[in-house]
Structure 1
């Protein structure tokens, strides 16, 4: 079995991946607090790439596109504890606690390296995963509230994220797509994140780019891959995932169909 997931509540889980590499495109419905036990994770967003290893703790904001790639490392599987900070739970928390610090959320992955108090909070969950039954709701609530309180004590600006319950509004379509084209999401998702219905998204996209979303996205991803191979001297196997393609064979076919030569031919020209 490559995947194993244990839950102690719907909002707290322990996941273990024993395969070589697992990649997914995600837009989380809730903020997710992750404690890394073993392995390595690469998170790719429009504004940067983050790499996390054993012992790292990080918070992934909701409603942000990301490519997540998980690897085993040092002979150990990819293993992590994840805690979902749902909107309802956060609304309840902030009905009793006044937000402080920055009013607007920082659009980033929050990293909390070497925080013993936070690590202790998450490590205390491990014994519950071996019980084979759900954690009582009142204990789960205490654990999640403890984690939120520790986050607030560590980073005064985290309230700007956790206490913000706004949904995405209508934003500049051209700017958003130019920054997020490499994420292999459905058009419904792209529409939601730009504050549009699918029909409105298609109509506005046509006006902005004079092309269909599918054609434009494929061309942009291929241009990115071409640049990474030609200028950054990367190999096709290193670029196809980050450029937004599902597998190497599809990428190679699309690349040759668009440019008239294969990725390997491009590499050969550089020698």
Structure 2
């Protein structure tokens, strides 16, 4: 299953989820600013889970790997406004406004508290969303630049995230896979995030784990699922997606093949 990318959505848009909604794995090829208007947004990363509520604003870096859930809260749907920064807009801005010191990519997302400038920015978008769910491209570019200036006025450290244009460098393959195996990504995407071509990724993976990515990932995901079901008493229907399977039937088939019994019959 392919991860969700911003090519499938407009650049500035509003979303409304009246029921609990679980996204696919989310990898943003460009940074995105998200404002929660109501409800709750949860983001599960490799090392922790983030919870955002009404009034929270978060800036997601490029190539952030995680899994997003949108949930209603207190009888209100989950409504969020997203600004996905186009590369050409960012490059044009930072060419005209170079930073004073070298830019390094920040690790993880950036959270913002309440601020008058953020309030003004998102309030200015409300009239447009009464006409449509997304802004026209030319108007979106104008609002993107305004958003960049607002964020820089609040926290100069956003330059470390917004002004980073390099591709992922080669990193420790074993460490990355051990921390991120539960995300349902194709091998080519795992390769990209570790700074490798698909061919090099498969070759290095074989050296590191003495196995193919497909077999190793299935085994790791099933082992985690077994632990969650048997030790934490979680239901298979709540676990399969969390550990990286696309649907319950495929998970149940793989689980029985691995352990010899259905996940619903896991011994205590």
Smaller-chain TM-score range? 0.7 to 0.9
The CA deviation at 1:135 is 4.4
- State how far apart, in whole Å, the 1-side matches of 2:241 and 2:80 are: 22
Deviation sequence 1:105-162 (CA, Å, 0-9, x none)? 222121113233213201210101223595472x533422221122122223221111
Q: Relative to structure 1, is the Cα distance of residues 102 and 151 closer, same or farther in structure 2, using a 3 angstrom cutoff?
A: farther
Counterpart in the other structure of 1:6 = none
The CA deviation at 1:233 is 3.9
- State how far apart, in whole Å, the 2-side matches of 1:116 and 1:27 are: 30
- State how far apart, in whole Å, the 2-side matches of 1:88 and 1:136 are: 12
Give me the TM-score of the superposition, normalised by structure 1: 0.86
The CA deviation at 1:101 is 7.2
Number of residue pairs aligned between Structure 1 and Structure 2: 259
Deviates more, 1:36-45 or 1:70-79: 70-79
Counterpart in the other structure of 1:217 = 217
Counterpart in the other structure of 1:206 = 206
User: 8 Å contact 1:102–1:156 — kept in the other structure?
Assistant: no
Counterpart in the other structure of 2:55 = 55
Q: What are the ranges of 5 or more consecutive residues in structure 1 without an aligned counterpart?
A: 1-8
Q: What are the ranges of 5 or more consecutive residues in structure 2 without an aligned counterpart?
A: 1-8
Give me the TM-score of the superposition, normalised by structure 2: 0.87
Equivalence map 1:1-271=2 (5 Å): 10-99=10-99, 103-132=103-132, 135=136, 137=138, 139-266=139-266, 269=268
- State how far apart, in whole Å, the 2-side matches of 1:204 and 1:50 are: 32
Q: Relative to structure 1, is the Cα distance of residues 136 and 202 closer, same or farther in structure 2, using a 3 angstrom cutoff?
A: closer
- State how far apart, in whole Å, the 2-side matches of 1:43 and 1:167 are: 23
- State how far apart, in whole Å, the 2-side matches of 1:55 and 1:252 are: 40
The CA deviation at 1:55 is 1.9
The CA deviation at 1:185 is 0.8
User: 8 Å contact 1:36–1:53 — kept in the other structure?
Assistant: yes
User: 8 Å contact 2:13–2:135 — kept in the other structure?
Assistant: no
- State how far apart, in whole Å, the 2-side matches of 1:186 and 1:19 are: 28
User: 8 Å contact 1:66–1:183 — kept in the other structure?
Assistant: yes
- State how far apart, in whole Å, the 2-side matches of 1:32 and 1:136 are: 16
The CA deviation at 1:175 is 1.6
The CA deviation at 1:86 is 1.9
- State how far apart, in whole Å, the 2-side matches of 1:64 and 1:204 are: 23
> Partner of 2:189: helix, strand, or coil?
helix
- State how far apart, in whole Å, the 2-side matches of 1:231 and 1:222 are: 14
> Partner of 1:108: helix, strand, or coil?
coil
Q: Relative to structure 1, is the Cα distance of residues 136 and 67 closer, same or farther in structure 2, using a 3 angstrom cutoff?
A: closer
- State how far apart, in whole Å, the 2-side matches of 1:151 and 1:22 are: 28
The CA deviation at 1:246 is 1.9
